[in-house]
Amino acid sequence: MLLHLLGYIAEKEREKILKRQREGIEAMEINDKGKKVSKRTKRETGRPSQVDDMTKEQKRHMDAWLSKSIKLSDCIKLTELSRATLYRIKNCINNMKYIV
């Protein structure tokens, strides 16, 4: 009986913790990139964007692949990014051209 009571108390406490966590995330401000930003640390939530973190060399190789001067396999080796990431970046670039 005591174990059931302690289990019930633990479950209810966990539900309260998750509720407070959800409320904190919902209260965060949204920046211009559409990501939520912590009020205290001023850091974005979620994974960093591969497009924003690309080096000049990676951008140069990506542009060469998009202009069809190098193959996709060469671009993968030179940029050290996966095929899916390269196509995701390509789609992102194409979508931005249509918006602008």
pLDDT digits (tens, 9 = 90+) for 7-42: 999 999 999 999 999 998 899 988 887 889 988 888
How far apart (Å, rounded) are the C-alpha atoms in residues 51 and 94?
A: 13
Angle between helices 56-66 and 72-79 (to 10 degrees): 180
Give the residue among 50, 56, 55 at the shortest CA–CA distance from 93: 50
- Tell me: the pLDDT tens digits for 76-99? 999 888 999 899 888 877 776 544
pLDDT at 97 (0 to 100): 56
pLDDT at 98 (0 to 100): 44
pLDDT at 99 (0 to 100): 40
Mean pLDDT of 63-67: 91
pTM value is 0.53
